[in-house]
């Protein structure tokens, strides 16, 4: 691709114009059919019985009374249904395959014995009616031998802690290495020796549930040896592949259908245990089975952002140059290591003397998994709080401190483009940073105090492989086949717009077929902010091919069609490709009540060229608000005496409502760096990466106390101010 960087991006024919979603009508009239809206003839309903205890060996399960209940068709437990849920236990980001399934030492099955967290599945029932299935659960008798449990990751690594797996509580990677994740660069000791001052502190963050509006469910239906699954998955391709691996089928024996799904935020990538339990029950019952989770089951049974404890040690010189960065940290993974447990943020700094050690630790809490920018927001909160504190301690403006220390392109590490300086400068100007921040934190007179915080980020916007097929028929109607599922960001519309642009036709002339693995080619899945770039590039390439065919053979007539497909393997020529952002937040804290209100929020993002500015804007605003919730409200608390979760729902988990939300002012700096489809980069995860840090820094600036635990709840504010 071209290496020209275009900083004067103008709207194209279709791309760059605010465009209502092509399926907006279905979404506002109730016609959009989600998984739980599907109905098949003879469909049974399924429910799951879950562990009431945090850690126990199951001595016996008696299902006989449940089985005798009229209307009950099938009951499964760990005794009669041993299905590996690979994606529930394989370290994230790795392609799941048969050797990995075989090698995984700490395998997660759909039912496990012992059970290792409150909410772990113990049995499942399929019945003719959902109420009968629920009644049947109450007739299943489980005898538990309760075992000691541990909830906190640091405590779990102590020798006296309850052992969750025979090898101990340090979670292994997918190669069964029982090692922390370690990054070492430069000379850490020499770096500290150069420092005039060394700062050390501890930061912690809580478990945040994705809490997508649509609780998990799955409808399974077998025809011979072919399984059709209606499932709310973020990726029909990886869901199909994982389900086939888990059930011992070939990929083509599994069809995944997901036309609409009610959000996931990383939580519904790959396949879910719902898929495997529904498929297993359906096979046994010889009938379609709809498995539905309640809100509480969804909260406890599945995944959310891992809680962390982060110890930092940072060396700086008197002129504000960072000379050494060290972090020792713990991520609470629950009793299965579904994903990495990563903690990012330090890489935003240029300092080459770095040591980072992260222990992914088993606990008897619900399992941690991916949540929108899985490794980022908690890590950015930790490191940005450290740096903000250091800046004020040495008498520097945090923005000035960042400009001095942030990573920039070097000859050894070139970027496709770099616009962090512009993001910061523009954000500071729009927000009026000079006048809103308190040079002396906490200096407002009286009990109601204002302050301002700043954070920044650079985040991968790399390219990769996906596929697309495009067809034109004798009516000059184009059909685009892409394996995306529209989980909220608007991928279906984005892909249609890219095709329309490349083909030079109106969007209305392009039908987009998506969300069905039997009809659509491989797509990377709606995770990692990758769809627009990766599947978008495939769409561009397929459309180029089709245009060439049309040039050579003319438009098809009558029953003729022309078809093109593409599975490109693009590169960035060895350069780093990132998106960039700077956030500025102002809060007002009532130190008598401990309440925090966000009074102004400014976000400046560079996400390359915007395909659909309207949906891009709402990705940034929504993600930013989710991050504000993480900073100020959300937590899943546990009773340390019993191991029982206390706040597993919308009210008690304290998700943001209409009234908690400020207007998020967003400005984009548009750039075409010559890579990606028309220069598009990532947008989906960007906003949440840095908003918790901006909010936390603003609170500390307002009250003059560094807030070292998320969420920054009223009690924590009162603890330091009263």
Footprint (CB under 8 A) of another protein, residues 546-585: none
The H-assigned helical ranges of 57-186 are 64-68, 98-103, 130-137, 153-156
Distance CA 601, CA 623 (A): 13
DSSP letter at 273?
H
- The least CB distance from residue 532 to another protein, in Å, is 15
Stretch that binds another protein, among 33-41, 78-86, 377-385, 476-484 (CB under 8 A): 33-41
Nearer to another protein, 31 or 317 (CB): 31
> And the tokens for 330?
């713990």
Nearer to another protein, 30 or 166 (CB): 30
Rounded to 5°, angle at Cα 346 from 340 and 352: 120
487 counts as binding another protein under rule CB under 8 A: yes
- The least CB distance from residue 234 to another protein, in Å, is 11
618 counts as binding another protein under rule CB under 8 A: yes
- The least CB distance from residue 17 to another protein, in Å, is 13
Sequential DSSP letters for 169-204: SBPP-TT-----EEEEES-HHHHHHH-SEEEEEEEE
| Single residue of 205, 517, 615, 701 touching another protein by CB under 8 A | 615
Stretch that binds another protein, among 190-198, 327-335, 379-387, 625-633 (CB under 8 A): 625-633
Strand partners, 199: 314
Distance CA 322, CA 195 (A): 8
- The least CB distance from residue 333 to another protein, in Å, is 22
Q: Is the Cβ–Cβ distance between 304 and 636 less than 8 Å?
A: yes
Of 627, 605, 626, nearest to 616 (Cα)?
Answer: 605
- The least CB distance from residue 324 to another protein, in Å, is 38
- The least CB distance from residue 624 to another protein, in Å, is 8
Q: Please, what is the end-to-end C-alpha distance for the chain in angstroms? A: 60
Contacts of 665 (CB under 8 A, 6+ apart): 430, 600, 601, 602, 603
Distance CA 579, CA 561 (A): 39
| Single residue of 103, 105, 182, 213 touching another protein by CB under 8 A | 213
| Single residue of 4, 30, 412, 435 touching another protein by CB under 8 A | 30
50 counts as binding another protein under rule CB under 8 A: yes
Nearer to another protein, 346 or 625 (CB): 625
- The least CB distance from residue 69 to another protein, in Å, is 8
Q: Beta-carbon neighbour count of residue 714 at 10 Å?
A: 15
Q: Is the Cβ–Cβ distance between 303 and 366 less than 8 Å?
A: yes
- The least CB distance from residue 638 to another protein, in Å, is 16
Q: Where are the beta strands (DSSP E) in 414-570?
A: 448-460, 468-473, 478-481, 510-513, 561-566
Site string for another protein, 239-258 (x = CB under 8 A): --------------------
| Single residue of 263, 414, 464, 568 touching another protein by CB under 8 A | 263
- The least CB distance from residue 646 to another protein, in Å, is 12
Nearer to another protein, 469 or 491 (CB): 491
| Single residue of 396, 650, 714, 718 touching another protein by CB under 8 A | 650
123 counts as binding another protein under rule CB under 8 A: no
Strand partners, 48: 124
| Single residue of 17, 33, 101, 426 touching another protein by CB under 8 A | 33
| Single residue of 128, 253, 321, 509 touching another protein by CB under 8 A | 128
Distance CA 369, CA 266 (A): 8
| Single residue of 71, 186, 409, 464 touching another protein by CB under 8 A | 71
* CA 679 vs CA 327, 344, 672: distances in Å: 35, 26, 4
Q: How many residues form the binding site for another protein (CB under 8 A)?
A: 73
85-116 burial, b at 16+ Cβ within 10 Å, e below that, comes to bbbbbbbbeeebeeebbeebebbbbbbbbbbb
138 counts as binding another protein under rule CB under 8 A: yes
Which residues within the stretch 277-316 sit at the binding site for another protein (CB under 8 A)?
A: 294-297, 300-301
Q: Is the dihedral of CA 244, 249, 251, 257 positive or negative?
A: negative
Stretch that binds another protein, among 310-318, 429-437, 644-652, 667-675 (CB under 8 A): 644-652
> And the tokens for 563?
């078809």
| Single residue of 52, 101, 460, 705 touching another protein by CB under 8 A | 52
| Single residue of 75, 81, 156, 211 touching another protein by CB under 8 A | 211
243-274 burial, b at 16+ Cβ within 10 Å, e below that, comes to bbbbbebeeebbbbbbbbbbbbbbbbbbbbbb
Site string for another protein, 166-205 (x = CB under 8 A): ----------------------------------------
Site string for another protein, 73-112 (x = CB under 8 A): ----------------------------------------
Q: Supply φ then ψ for residue 622, to 5 degrees.
A: -65, -45
468 counts as binding another protein under rule CB under 8 A: no
227 counts as binding another protein under rule CB under 8 A: no
531 counts as binding another protein under rule CB under 8 A: no
- The least CB distance from residue 437 to another protein, in Å, is 24
Site string for another protein, 674-703 (x = CB under 8 A): ------------------------------
Nearer to another protein, 119 or 496 (CB): 119
Strand partners, 490: none
- The alpha carbon torsion through 674, 676, 679, 682 (nearest 10 deg) reads -140
Of 460, 447, 679, 662, nearest to 580 (Cα)?
Answer: 460
């Amino acid at each position: 691709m071209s290496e020209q960087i275009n900083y004067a991006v103008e709207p194209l024919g279709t791309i760059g114009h605010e465009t209502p979603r092509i399926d907006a009508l279905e979404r506002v009239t109730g016609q959009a059919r989600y998984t739980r809206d599907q109905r098949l003839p003879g469909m049974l309903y399924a429910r799951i019985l879950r562990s009431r205890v945090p850690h126990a060996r199951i001595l016996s399960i008696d299902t006989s009374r449940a089985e005798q209940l009229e209307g009950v068709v099938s009951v499964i437990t760990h005794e009669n249904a041993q299905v590996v849920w690979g994606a529930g236990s394989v370290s994230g980001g790795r392609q799941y395959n048969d050797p990995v399934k075989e090698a995984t030492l700490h395998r997660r099955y759909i039912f496990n014995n012992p059970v290792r967290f409150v909410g772990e599945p113990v049995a499942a029932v399929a019945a003719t009616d959902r109420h009968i299935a629920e009644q049947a659960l109450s007739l299943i008798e489980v005898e538990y031998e309760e075992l000691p449990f541990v909830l906190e990751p640091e405590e779990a690594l102590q020798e006296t802690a309850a052992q969750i797996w025979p090898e101990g509580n340090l979670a292994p990677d997918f190669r069964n290495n029982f090692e922390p994740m370690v990054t070492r660069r430069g000379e850490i000791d020499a770096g500290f020796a150069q420092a005039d001052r060394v700062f050390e502190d501890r930061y912690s963050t809580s478990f945040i549930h994705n809490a997508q509006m649509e609780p998990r469910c799955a409808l399974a239906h077998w025809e011979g040896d072919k399984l059709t699954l209606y499932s709310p998955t973020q990726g029909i391709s990886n869901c199909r592949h994982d389900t086939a691996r888990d059930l011992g089928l070939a990929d083509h024996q599994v069809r995944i259908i997901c036309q609409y799904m009610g959000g996931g935020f990383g939580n519904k990538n790959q396949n879910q245990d719902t898929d495997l339990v529904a498929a297993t029950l359906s096979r046994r019952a010889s009938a379609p089975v709809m498995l539905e989770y309640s809100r509480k089951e969804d909260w406890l049974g599945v995944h959310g952002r891992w809680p962390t404890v982060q110890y930092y040690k940072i060396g700086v010189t008197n002129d504000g140059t960072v000379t050494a960065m060290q972090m020792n940290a713990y991520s609470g993974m629950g009793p299965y290591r579904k994903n990495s447990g990563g903690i990012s943020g330090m890489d935003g700094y240029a300092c080459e003397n770095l040591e980072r050690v992260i222990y992914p630790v088993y606990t008897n809490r619900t399992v941690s998994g991916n949540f929108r920018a899985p490794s980022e927001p908690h890590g950015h909160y930790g490191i940005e709080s450290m740096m903000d504190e250091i800046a004020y301690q040495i008498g520097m403006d945090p923005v000035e401190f960042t400009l001095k220390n942030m990573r920039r392109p070097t000859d050894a590490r070139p970027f496709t483009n770099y616009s962090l300086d512009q993001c910061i400068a523009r954000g500071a100007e729009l927000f009026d940073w000079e006048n809103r921040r308190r040079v002396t934190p906490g200096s407002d007179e009286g009990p109601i105090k204002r302050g301002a915080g700043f954070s920044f980020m650079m985040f991968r916007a790399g390219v990769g492989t996906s596929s697309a097929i495009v067809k034109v028929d004798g009516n000059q109607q184009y059909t685009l086949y892409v394996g995306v599922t529209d989980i909220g960001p608007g991928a279906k519309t984005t892909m249609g717009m890219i095709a329309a642009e490349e083909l030079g036709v109106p969007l209305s002339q392009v039908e987009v077929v998506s969300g069905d693995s039997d009809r659509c080619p491989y797509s990377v899945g709606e995770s990692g902010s990758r769809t627009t770039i990766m599947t978008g590039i495939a769409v561009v390439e397929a459309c180029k091919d089709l245009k060439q065919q049309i040039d050579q053979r003319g438009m098809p007539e009558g029953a003729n069609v022309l078809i093109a497909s593409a599975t490109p393997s693009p590169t960035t020529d060895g350069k780093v490709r990132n998106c960039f952002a700077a956030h500025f937040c102002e809060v007002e804290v009532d130190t008598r009540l401990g309440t925090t209100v966000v009074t102004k929020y400014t976000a400046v993002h560079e996400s390359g060229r915007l395909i659909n500015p309207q949906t891009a804007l709402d990705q940034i605003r929504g993600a930013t608000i989710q991050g504000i919730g993480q900073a100020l409200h959300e937590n899943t608390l546990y009773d340390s005496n019993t191991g029982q979760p206390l706040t597993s729902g919308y009210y008690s988990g304290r998700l943001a409502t209409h009234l908690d939300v400020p207007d998020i002012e967003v400005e984009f700096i548009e750039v075409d760096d010559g890579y990606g489809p028309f220069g598009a980069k990532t947008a989906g995860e960007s906003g949440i990466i840095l908003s918790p840090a901006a909010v936390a820094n603003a609170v500390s600036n307002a009250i003059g106390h560094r807030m070292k635990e998320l969420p920054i709840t009223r009690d924590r504010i009162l603890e330091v101010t009263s």
